[in-house]
């Protein structure tokens, strides 16, 4: 005991502090039930299971942390340690509770859209994810973020560091409310794949240096390269609808651009000057982008060549994704079918990427068709078009699962037939 402590006050404080810490167990148990009760598509469940399991790890540690408090000498030291532990738990629970409540209010079609994107990736490129609402569109490494919050809980932090990396997509309400803007998530998928698979920026510039400011040249080289690369990936994977929505959302200020990111003028010019020429059907692709630029006054921004080597960045990225991921084909006959369907204000359900490209590129013609054909009040045209796109996306999702099940059943049937054939040959 320190001078001034009494045996009664010290024992009483110790009892209060340990009881308070142990009382988190019941709250954490309830939170864990809430996490497991959230109904999400297949790939998102990996991330919710991460949250549920790390709660288990915290609950296992609580008695040990209470014992550590008892072993500390002096009321001041016990109080200081208690504050650290309680603060970590309260931050963690607040974050998870907010995430769970927000997730319940998100449209299921949005999660289905991301799951369809994952289905388009090689199996070992797929990842677990959750979605949160934020002013700025972005991606958070969920394991690392939670690990920092739970730093005082060694077991939980170690579990997070050893588990496969899960991700949190931060999506502004303006993007969430408009299915035509969901294509912007392909940019965030590009970030995930760079960090988990491609590692092109790391290969180009070596390990990132720790510097005081995110605006110093070394930091900007990394940050800007990652943004240009994610734009290029999204353009390759998702087609011209990505570039058009990038223009519209930033031009109308629907989304916030961090000062550490390149300006949207620089990003579009990087694609026009260096990126599009490396894509299939670059001439047609460029015409789509140029059409989207009509009426938009662009500033004089240019990509600083002394900071970012765009040529090497795009070439190395292309080498990493070519053969693993199909590039969008502006000349495909099926894309023409999708455009004709959407322009006629009719559903298209064969392919979600073709659907969204057709919806973004043919939006004006679709709205005109809605009015000309008298499908409803003119002031409802925009809303009804979004409903049409949402319904079509859901049907694309259903079709994806139907085809997946058909492939599984076919493989099982062929395996059974092969086994029967082998048995007959052995019997003969």
113 closest CA partner among 97, 129, 101? 129
| pLDDT for position 304 | 64
42 closest CA partner among 107, 126, 168? 126
Higher pLDDT, 42 or 363: 363
The pLDDT-based confidence of 235 (bands split at 50, 70, 90) is very high
Residue with token string 């200020």:
253
pLDDT of 212 > 70? The answer is no
Tokens of 294: 């009509």
| pLDDT for position 294 | 72
List the domain boundaries for the chain: 11-171, 210-331, 340-428
Average of per-residue pLDDT values in the chain: 88
State how far the Cα of 21 lies from the Cα of 16, in Å rounded to an integer: 9
Q: Where are the alpha helices (DSSP H) in 171-279?
A: 173-176, 185-193, 200-205, 217-238, 240-251, 264-270
Tokens of 278: 């490396």
Tell me: the pLDDT tens digits for 378-408? 999 999 999 999 999 999 999 998 888 888 8
State how far the Cα of 231 lies from the Cα of 249, in Å rounded to an integer: 14
Nearest 5 degrees, angle CA 137-CA 138-CA 141?
A: 160
| pLDDT for position 211 | 57
The pLDDT-based confidence of 290 (bands split at 50, 70, 90) is confident
Tokens of 296: 């938009």
pLDDT of 254 > 80? The answer is no
| pLDDT for position 1 | 45
Residue with token string 């549920």:
52
Tokens of 201: 């920026």
Q: How many helices (H) and strands (E) does the chain have?
A: 19, 3
Highest mean pLDDT among 29-43, 255-269, 308-322: 308-322
State how far the Cα of 267 lies from the Cα of 184, in Å rounded to an integer: 14
pLDDT of 327 > 60? The answer is yes
| pLDDT for position 262 | 81
| pLDDT for position 208 | 77
Task: Give the predicted TM-score (pTM) of the model.
Answer: 0.87
State how far the Cα of 396 lies from the Cα of 121, in Å rounded to an integer: 16
């Amino acid at each position: 005991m320190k001078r001034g402590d009494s045996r009664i006050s010290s024992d009483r404080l110790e009892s209060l502090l340990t009881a308070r810490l142990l009382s988190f167990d019941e709250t954490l148990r309830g939170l864990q039930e809430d996490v497991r009760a959230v109904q999400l598509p297949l790939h998102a469940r990996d991330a919710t299971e991460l949250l549920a399991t790390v709660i288990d790890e915290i609950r296992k540690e609580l008695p040990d942390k209470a014992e550590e408090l008892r072993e500390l000498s002096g009321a001041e030291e016990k109080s200081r340690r208690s504050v650290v532990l309680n603060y970590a738990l309260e931050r963690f629970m607040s974050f998870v509770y907010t995430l769970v409540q927000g997730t319940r209010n998100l449209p299921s079609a949005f999660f289905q859209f991301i799951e369809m994107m994952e289905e388009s990736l090689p199996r070992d490129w797929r990842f677990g994810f959750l979605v949160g609402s934020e002013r700025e569109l972005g991606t958070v490494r969920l394991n690392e973020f939670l690990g920092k919050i739970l730093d005082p809980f060694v077991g939980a932090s170690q579990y997070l560091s050893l588990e496969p990396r899960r991700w949190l997509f931060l999506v502004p309400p303006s993007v969430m409310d408009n299915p035509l803007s969901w294509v912007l998530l392909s940019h965030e998928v590009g970030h995930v794949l760079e960090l988990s698979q491609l590692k092109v920026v790391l290969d180009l510039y070596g390990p990132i240096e720790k510097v005081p400011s995110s605006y110093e040249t070394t930091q900007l080289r990394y940050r800007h390269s990652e943004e240009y690369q994610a734009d290029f990936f999204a353009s390759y994977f998702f087609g011209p609808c990505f570039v058009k929505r990038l223009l519209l959302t930033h031009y109308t200020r629907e989304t916030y651009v961090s000062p550490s990111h390149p300006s949207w003028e620089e990003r579009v010019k990087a694609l026009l000057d260096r990126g599009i020429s490396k894509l299939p059907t670059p001439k047609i692709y460029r015409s789509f982008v140029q059409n989207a630029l009509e009426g938009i006054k662009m500033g004089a921004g240019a990509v600083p060549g002394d900071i970012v080597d765009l040529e090497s960045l795009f070439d190395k990225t292309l080498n990493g994704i070519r053969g693993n991921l199909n590039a969008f084909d502006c000349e495909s006959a099926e894309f023409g079918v999708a455009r004709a369907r959407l322009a006629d204000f009719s559903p298209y359900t064969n392919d979600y990427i073709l659907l969204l490209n057709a919806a973004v590129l043919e939006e004006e013609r679709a709205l005109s068709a809605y009015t000309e054909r008298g499908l409803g009040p003119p002031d409802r045209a925009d809303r009804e078009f979004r409903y049409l796109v949402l319904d079509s996306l859901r049907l694309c999702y259903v079709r994806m699962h139907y085809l997946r099940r058909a492939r599984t059943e076919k493989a099982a049937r062929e395996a059974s037939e092969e086994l029967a054939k082998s048995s007959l040959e052995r019997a003969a």
